Amino acid sequence: MQIRISVRGLVEFILRQGDIDNRIHTSAENAMLEGGRIHRKIQKQQGSSYHAEYPLSYNIHSSKYDLIIEGRADGIIEEDPVIIDEIKGTYKNLDHMDEPVPVHLSQAKVYAAIYLIQNSLEQIGVRMTYCSLETEEIKKFDYTYSASQIVSWFEDVVSKYRVFADFKAEWNSICTNSIKNCPFPFPYRKGQKELAAGVYRTIVHGKKLFLEAPTGTGKTLTTVFPAIAAIGQGKAEKLFYMTAKTLTAAAASDTFQLLRRTGKLRFKTVTITAKDKICLSKECDCNPEKCPYAKGHYDRVNEAMLDMMRSEDNYSRDTILYYARKHMVCPFELSLDISLFADGIICDYNYVFDPFVYLKRYFAENNSGEYIFLIDEAHNLVDRGRSMYSADLMLSPLADLKDMLSGAYVPFKSHMTALYNQIMSMANSSDRPMMLETIEPLVEMIDRLSSSMSSYLDDNSEGPFHDEIVNYYFELSRFLTIYDKLDDHYRIYQEWDDKEGFRIRLLCVDPSLNLGACMSRAVSTILFSATFLPIQYYKELLGGDDEDFEMYSSSSFDPDKRCIIIAKDVTSRYAMRGPEQYEKISEYIHRIVQKRRGNYMVFFPSHAFLEEVYDVYLSKYAEIDGAQVLAQGSNMSEEEREMFLDMFSEGNNVNLSDLINMEVDIEDDRIVIGFCVTGGIFSESIDLRKDSLIGSIIVGCGIPLVCNEREVLRHFFDENGRDGYDFAYRYPGMNKVLQAAGRVIRTEEDTGVVALLDNRFLQSSYRSLFPREWNDVETVTTQTVNNAISEFWARLSQTQD
């Protein structure tokens, strides 16, 4: 077995100490890019004795594993003695630097120790070269170490890491043996074995798989199981299970627990929870003066990790919180660190794909690993990808900061005023959206302000409006980082946003290149969803190519257990909306729920549309039907969402207002109707099984509202030979419809009705997007829907009898 660690990773892991402190400014991505340029410039100025980017690797052999420490020294200077040169770009004022940053010096010392040992030297020099990213001024710190000094120090660092490496090697053996003896926990359903084989085959071939698996086919288990098997066969070393929502992350964690329980699997997993949702302090502020868990965190975190590693296999949110309290460390940072010693990482998409949040310990430049990516509900990754790789420059935050600092002296004020005046001149030029060919002059102004702000923050960890300055600095940094990514997949435009005011937008119209680059860090990527139609649309926008695989998993459900109808005498077309349509939709709801008491959800294209139908149904039919009617709010809290869903739990009949006041009255014979928004929080990922939901009534085709961004998408794809309307509107809309429909049929025991209330569903352009198992759709009107629904429930009752 080989255990690899980078020189930087070794130093930062073993020699870190002290507090987490968000007051200490760290340069952003664009500063790192600028630092790379400075590195190359300094290296080119050196003489013939200077060897740049010198690769070094050191192998420590033992009976159980080889520990390989590797990296690239910035420079090796062949003088007497040989000097190891470590270059760092900084916005700090070099006049204020009396010594190098300890972790930087330690990194250089590891390179020096490796070089000295491998070349049998008696002594070696270490040089820390700092260069100002603003002025390009250089400051050097030189040290000389004897062989005994540097080797003794290096062996001490390695011995501290060996405690973790020894555990990792021992655990690898336990994990691998358990995988080989872990069976699939249930009899395979129809198509499940072929699905699992397809996932394993894709991993072996090192490709991507775009997999559509209808709701309830067990796609979580059937993708996780072969991925674990591939790790057991040495095809990869770690898997990342990525989700868009907390509920799907919980389902993934439950799957690993199932395999531990039924198959005696020994496989360590960690669930990474967002910092603000796992923080133990009242305010999520990583300031050691305010947070006792940030104070001295690095002095205690390695001991906390060892405690967890020796005691637990499932590093869940609750487990992490327990050990964070026990050892007084930050739970979020603990979760990131313990992930290094987990076999599986369950996390949000952004920890792999977002250029500002991704896990640098795995995916930063020069880091490598043998990973499997499992991407759940992957249809969400198209819009999430666009968001991650887009950026806005807003006028209002700059105006607010300018007003705040009007009476204060800050060295970047002139740059801030110049940028403000430039954006104001653009904002005054037009109140309509405008495409922009280039913004290079504006970017130069942003770059100057960003550099000046960074220099100020390096020298000022506190002070008036410090948080506001930091926040705006990061906004600028994000904009500059995304600007560096601009290519033919982007469009630049300016607009007046109704809520945010004037902005300049860098829109990543097609995220395929950026997403594909991230997926190239994995041995194999499995992208799966219950709604992946048309597959070529998703394959194109999610970074697939002709060599990647596609697979459709057949539904194992009895089609006789569900009824799908299309209403041909109603529409949600914007031009047709009005009292007549609201009345018809309310009548459809009434006629459907009358035929079987139970729980229903009705999905609408917007909150405004929802409210119109809600008022009609409530005044005309709710009392007749004996229905309790709930409406999804526009800004529901977590507690309100849980209360809403509790209404649909089997056997519960809880009025939302009563629940809030703890006055609960339970009846078995009831109708509960939830009025929800298509594409909202209740149309995806929620799991309402059996009698929890017996009907999904979907009003409209899910078409996104026309807006500037959607129109930019439409024109882009039209210009590139695609159907722009399909790519910008129809396909995303239909995905929302299919997701809402999927709330009804979750397990083989489920039964229910899916009603599509819009005559546009009869068009071939929509029918072609129906799942293949929807081959028995019935067309109805308000006059015939009663018979269709009655016949379905009667037929089902006869079958069950």
| Chain centre distance of CA 679 | 18
Per-residue model confidence as pLDDT tens digits over 583-639: 999 999 999 999 999 999 999 999 999 999 999 999 999 999 999 999 998 888 888
DSSP designation for 729: I
Residue 197 · residue 226 · CB < 8 Å? yes
For residue 786 the two structure tokens come to 């009663």
CB 415 within 8 A of CB 448: yes
Task: Tell me the average pLDDT across 652-680.
Answer: 60
**Sequence-separated (6 or more) residues with CB below 8 Å from residue 377:** 243, 244, 245, 248, 529, 530, 684, 685
Intra-chain end-to-end CA distance of the chain, in Å:
60
CB of 525 within 8 A of CB of 519?
yes
Q: Give the pLDDT of residue 345.
A: 98
Region 450-466: mean pLDDT is 86
Judge whether 151 and 113 are in contact, CB under 8 Å.
yes
| 392-508, CATH topology level | Fumarase C; Chain B, domain 1 (1.10.275)
Q: What is the mean pLDDT of the chain?
A: 90
Q: What is the CATH number of domain 559-800?
A: 3.40.50.300
Q: Distance (Å, rounded) from C-alpha 421 to C-alpha 417?
A: 6
pLDDT at 800: 65
Q: What is the pLDDT of residue 653?
A: 38
Amino acid 395: pLDDT: 95
Question: How far apart (Å, rounded) are the C-alpha atoms in residues 323 and 314?
Answer: 13
223-237, 263-277, 419-433: least confidently modelled range:
419-433
Amino acid identity for residue 685 in this structure:
S
Contacts of residue 720, defined as CB under 8 A and 6 or more positions apart, other chains included, come to: none
Q: How far apart are CA 725 and CA 713, in angstroms?
A: 9
Residue 300 tokens read as 């205690």
Mean pLDDT of 717-732: 96
**Residue range 741-798, pLDDT digits in tens:** 988 876 677 789 999 999 999 999 999 999 988 988 999 999 999 999 999 999 888 7
Report the CATH number of the 2-164 domain. 3.90.320.10
599 strand-pairing partners: 672
Say which residue, 690 or 392, is predicted with more confidence.
392
CA-based nearest residue to 781, from 521, 584, 616, 641: 584
pLDDT (tens digit, 9 = 90+) per residue, 379-437? 999 999 999 999 999 999 999 999 999 988 899 999 999 999 999 999 876 667 899 99
pLDDT in tens, 82-104: 999 998 888 778 888 899 999 99
Q: What integer pLDDT is reported at residue 685 of this predicted model?
A: 64
Distance CA 314, CA 268 (A): 6
Phi, psi dihedral angles at 784 (to 5 degrees): -110, -10
Say which amino acid occupies 689: R
Percentage helix, strand, coil for the chain under 3-state DSSP, each rounded to 5: 45, 20, 35
Task: Report the distance separating Cα 91 and Cα 447, nearest Å.
Answer: 13
Q: Would you tell me how many other CB atoms lie within 10 Å of the CB of residue 381? A: 24
Q: Going by C-beta distance under 8 Å and a sequence separation of 6 or more, which residues neighbour residue 705?
A: 606
Q: Which of 372, 502, 507, 533 is nearest to 426 (CA)?
A: 502
Q: How far is it, in rounded angstroms, from Cα 79 to Cα 606?
A: 72
pLDDT band for position 683 (cuts 50, 70, 90): confident
Per residue in 7-65, pLDDT (tens digit) is 999 999 999 999 998 877 655 444 555 556 676 777 777 778 889 889 999 999 998 99
pLDDT at 26: 58
What is the distance between the alpha carbons of residues 789 and 558, in angstroms, rounded to a whole number?
A: 17
Helix 219-232 vs helix 246-263: crossing angle, to nearest 10: 60
| Closest among 269, 772, 794, 234 to 531, alpha carbons compared | 772
The answer, yes or no, to whether residue 308 has pLDDT greater than 70, is yes
- Residue 367: the pLDDT is 65
> Residue 141's pLDDT is what?
96
Instruction: Provide mean pLDDT across the span 299-312.
Output: 97
Average pLDDT rounded to a whole number, residues 710-729: 96
pLDDT over 70, % of the chain: 93
The structure tokens listed for 87 are: 């270059």
- Distance between CA atoms of 469 and 25, rounded to whole angstroms? 11
DSSP SS3 for 16:
coil
Report the pLDDT averaged over residues 312-333. Answer: 97
The pLDDT assigned to 36 comes to 64
Q: Is the pLDDT of residue 689 over 80?
A: no
Q: How far apart are CA 242 and CA 244, in angstroms?
A: 7
The average pLDDT across 666-675 equals 74
Cα 414 → chain centroid: 38
Quick one: pLDDT at residue 709? 94
Taking the domains of the chain in order of start, what are their residue ranges?
A: 2-164, 189-388+512-552, 392-508, 559-800
pLDDT of residue 758: 97
* Equal fold, 189-388+512-552 vs 392-508: no
pLDDT at 687 over 70: no
Three-state secondary structure along 551-591? EECCCCCCHHHEEEEEECCCCCCHHHCCHHHHHHHHHHHHH
Whole-number pLDDT of residue 660: 36
Rounded (10°) CA dihedral 202, 731, 563, 578: 160
Average of per-residue pLDDT across 349-368: 86
Q: Single out the residue of 663, 603, 653 nearest to residue 631, CA to CA.
A: 603
pLDDT above 90 for 642:
no
**583: exposed, middle or buried (C-beta count within 10 Å: 0-12, 13-18, 19+)?**
middle
Residues pairing with 348 in the sheet: 243
In tens, the pLDDT along 551-573 reads: 998 776 788 888 999 999 999 99
β-strand partners of 336: none
Lowest mean pLDDT among 239-248, 270-279, 741-750, 758-767: 741-750
Three-state secondary-structure class, residue 779: strand
Rounded (5°) CA angle 738-703-598:
45
Class of the 189-388+512-552 domain? alpha beta
CA pair distance 400, 404, nearest whole angstrom: 6
Identify any residues that bridge with 501 across adjacent strands, giving them in sequence order.
Answer: 497
Q: Which residues contact 209 (CB under 8 A, 6 or more apart)?
A: 198, 199, 202, 524, 525, 526, 527, 528, 548, 549, 550, 551
For residue 517, give the 3-state DSSP assignment.
helix
Q: What is the pLDDT of residue 659?
A: 35
Tokens at residue 16, please? 């870190």
Question: Taking Cα atoms as reference points, which of 65, 69, 68, 82 lies closest to residue 119?
Answer: 82
pLDDT number for residue 690: 58
Edge-to-edge strands, sheet with 238-243:
314-315, 269-271, 344-348, 238-243, 371-375, 524-529, 208-212, 549-552
